[in-house]
Chain A
């Protein structure tokens, strides 16, 4: 397979992904995009191995590294500013609070992931303690996942009970304005 053919297939897959995602949102079926993205990734991995030409060389990796760093910095700044705006305006609309929190946590996760990967390539990859470091990172991410699950589990939320919104825990936002029919 030539590089040109590979790029055409890549473009077609991107178009199919776009169509699938939009249809999945319309149909409210979120399993389809997950399945499609897994299949597409496997196809791309397989085809990548079939390409005889050089897809990327050292200059691309260098440029990619610089672009990734700049992207993390720009996203972090934009997300932090947006987070403060949304969070400070939460009294105007309670829906702004989860948006602000999502932005804050996504920024933290992005920066944490970047730091871990940077550290891996900077030192760990060259050392003999790869396994220990990988295990530590796995434990850290599991702890983070548990913490996030606890945070977003709806412990502090409004529950619908006998046609009334009842407090569950200590929600920091007002009860939903939509009628409670259960």
Chain B
């Protein structure tokens, strides 16, 4: 699974810490999310997508 979190976060001019605060997560979680090393819950995925103003479907790309 890959994602566009880093790309969209930088476009939104947000630091990892700021994004973490907005979605009520720890910065480390955002780091692992961006690296594709952590599968978030549906709620966290939804919150991140909402902050980055994109749909969950577009934010995450699944390898079939």
Interface residues of A (CB under 8 A from B): 53-54, 56-60
Contact = CB atoms under 8 A, between A and B. Distances in A.
Contacts of A57: 24-26, 29, 44
Contacts, number: 25
Contact of A60 (B20, B26, B40, B41): B26
Interface of B: 20-21, 24-26, 28-29, 32, 38, 40-41, 43-44
Contacts of B25: 54, 57-59
A59 B38 contact: yes
B27 to A, nearest CB: 9
Q: Which 10 pairs of residues, A with B, have the shortest CB-CB distance? A: A57-B25, A59-B29, A57-B26, A58-B41, A57-B29, A54-B24, A54-B26, A59-B38, A58-B44, A54-B25
- From B20, B24, B26, B38, residue with most partner A Cβ within 10 Å: B26
B28 A54 contact: no
Contacts of B26: 54, 56-57, 59-60
A59 B28 contact: yes
Contact of A54 (B21, B41, B43): B21
A57 B38 CA distance: 13
